[in-house]
């Protein structure tokens, strides 16, 4: 076995161009498997994260906000936006049969101006009634959120003094939230007292987002939890019928529309990966068969010198193993350099929730991609070995005489 391994290395080193081409082909195979699997798993994780962070059965917003997709822009893409309705809608929603609890949220976009540290989405919530944001906050911050305090998403860089300025008002950053893979990662969260102070500051700075409405009496959305045993669809329909100028949407409907896009993207990526995998294996098989054909006389001489059929098969297996292993490691390394540093860019291009899996899953994908590439190399070597076993040594040598 040691002799076969050494001879395989010498054979590969004597033909560097051919060896490099085969290594690149194996690298392309492992790259496609690793990168494709990482993107699909990240999309699935992002969808699950989005569903869990939404935290409500029904979301109620002004009709114009829902019709223009503003809410999805805020939650998924992190695009700062705002829309408002009178807070009296909160009481109207609470009066609907089947509503267990309803909590307001307020969206305020900070400005790209000197009065603000960074242009982000600011989301205000009522700590007394909130059931969607605070459970998520509790994972990173166990205390109550005080006036003037904010919590930021994982995508926001916190200054060393842990202070962000919005509309010339300083806010103390008390915690950063876990990554979600959605636009929520670039948002800032505050209680209603803080958000109302920022609203007043925005008016003072000349940013009147409220269209003449009293910012102290406006809200942006209502998160609704439905009583056990009640139909979420029926409650949403009742809100749409009895509360004018708003639209109630089931959270699962929002998730389903995203899931549809995710399924389509996953199918495309999965199909391309399968096609690349099949094509790479076919090319590898053809390459090894052609190479073994060119080396027919070499194998015949080795047979005359006393090399057994088993030794020749082992030689091919070692050559294929070296090529596949080096190519697989190279492929997953390039895949990691593409997927990890550019994850934000990938999420932006796909326009879907995107959250990379944990280190354990990533390690499993790395190992699995390498194993699959080496297995493909073993398959090609087995086919070449079978062809060699059918060589008529005497005939080959007489033809070459």
Distance (Å, whole) CA 27 – CA 40: 20
Three-state DSSP at 248 gives strand
Q: Which residue has the higher pLDDT, 372 or 281?
A: 372
Secondary structure (DSSP) of 137-167? HTTT--S---TTEEEE-TTSPPPTT-EEEET
Which of 58-62, 203-207, 292-296, 349-353 has maximum average pLDDT? 58-62
Distance (Å, whole) CA 76 – CA 180: 10
Distance (Å, whole) CA 154 – CA 401: 73
**HSE-up (13 A, CA, CB side) for residue 394:** 0
Helices (H), 156-250: 192-204, 232-242
What's the alpha-carbon Rg for the chain, to the nearest Å?
31
Residue 188 has pLDDT above 70, yes or no: yes
Which of 83-92, 260-269, 371-380 has maximum average pLDDT? 83-92
Cα–Cα–Cα angle for 326, 329, 330, rounded to 5 degrees:
85
| Mean pLDDT along residues 278-295 | 69
Residue 395 has a pLDDT of: 45
% residues pLDDT > 70 (the chain): 79
pLDDT band at 11 (very low <50, low <70, confident <90, very high): low
* Phi and psi torsions of 227, nearest 5°: -65, 150
Distance (Å, whole) CA 307 – CA 312: 7
Residue 26 has a pLDDT of: 83
Q: Each residue of 27-74: pLDDT tens digit?
A: 888 888 888 888 888 888 877 777 777 778 999 999 887 665 567 777
DSSP 76: I
Residue 370 has pLDDT above 80, yes or no: yes
pLDDT band at 401 (very low <50, low <70, confident <90, very high): very low
CA 350 from centre of chain: 9
* Phi and psi torsions of 218, nearest 5°: -120, 155
Q: Each residue of 109-135: pLDDT tens digit?
A: 887 767 788 888 899 999 999 998 888
pLDDT band at 396 (very low <50, low <70, confident <90, very high): very low
Residue 377 has a pLDDT of: 74
Q: Each residue of 134-162: pLDDT tens digit?
A: 888 888 888 889 999 999 988 888 999 99
Cα–Cα–Cα angle for 213, 218, 224, rounded to 5 degrees:
150
Q: Each residue of 213-257: pLDDT tens digit?
A: 777 888 999 999 999 999 999 999 999 999 999 999 888 877 666
Distance (Å, whole) CA 125 – CA 107: 9
Residue 75 has pLDDT above 80, yes or no: no
Distance (Å, whole) CA 392 – CA 395: 5
Residue 398 has a pLDDT of: 47
| Mean pLDDT along residues 92-100 | 95
DSSP-derived pairing of the beta strands 221-226 and 187-191: unpaired
């Amino acid at each position: 076995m040691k002799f076969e391994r050494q001879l395989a290395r010498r054979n590969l080193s004597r033909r560097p161009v051919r060896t490099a081409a085969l290594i690149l082909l194996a690298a392309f195979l492992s790259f496609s498997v690793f990168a494709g699997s990482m993107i699909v798993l990240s999309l699935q994780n992002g969808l699950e994260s989005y569903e869990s962070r939404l935290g409500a059965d029904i979301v109620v917003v002004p009709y114009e906000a829902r019709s223009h997709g503003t809410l999805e822009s805020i939650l998924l893409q992190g695009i700062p936006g705002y829309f408002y309705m009178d807070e009296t809608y909160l009481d109207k929603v609470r009066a609907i049969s089947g509503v267990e609890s309803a909590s307001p949220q307020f969206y305020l976009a900070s400005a790209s101006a000197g009065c603000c540290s960074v242009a982000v989405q600011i989301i205000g919530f009522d700590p007394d009634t909130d059931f969607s944001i605070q459970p998520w906050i509790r994972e990173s911050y166990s205390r109550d959120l005080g006036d003037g305090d904010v919590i930021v998403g994982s995508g926001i860089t916190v200054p060393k003094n842990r202070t962000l300025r919005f509309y010339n008002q300083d806010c103390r950053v008390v915690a950063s939230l876990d990554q979600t893979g959605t636009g929520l990662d670039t948002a800032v969260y505050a209680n209603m007292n803080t958000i109302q102070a920022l609203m007043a500051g925005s008016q003072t700075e000349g940013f009147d987002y409220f269209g003449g409405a009293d910012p102290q009496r406006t809200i942006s959305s209502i998160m609704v939890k439905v009583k056990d045993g009640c139909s979420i669809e029926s409650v949403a329909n009742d809100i749409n019928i009895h509360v004018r100028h708003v639209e109630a949407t089931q959270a699962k409907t929002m998730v389903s529309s995203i899931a549809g896009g995710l399924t389509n993207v996953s199918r495309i990526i999965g199909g391309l990966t399968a096609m690349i995998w099949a094509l790479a294996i076919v090319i590898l098989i053809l390459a090894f068969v052609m190479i073994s054909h060119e080396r027919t006389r070499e194998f015949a001489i080795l047979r005359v010198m006393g090399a057994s059929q088993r030794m020749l098969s082992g030689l091919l297996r070692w050559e294929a193993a070296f090529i596949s292993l080096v190519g697989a490691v190279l492929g997953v390394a390039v895949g990691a350099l593409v997927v990890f540093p550019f994850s934000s860019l990938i999420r932006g291009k796909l326009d879907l929730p995107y959250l990379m899996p944990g280190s354990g899953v990533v390690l499993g994908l790395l190992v699995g991609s390498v194993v699959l590439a080496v297995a493909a190399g073993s398959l090609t070597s087995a086919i070449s070995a079978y062809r060699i076993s059918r060589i008529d040594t005497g005939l080959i040598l007489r033809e070459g005489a």
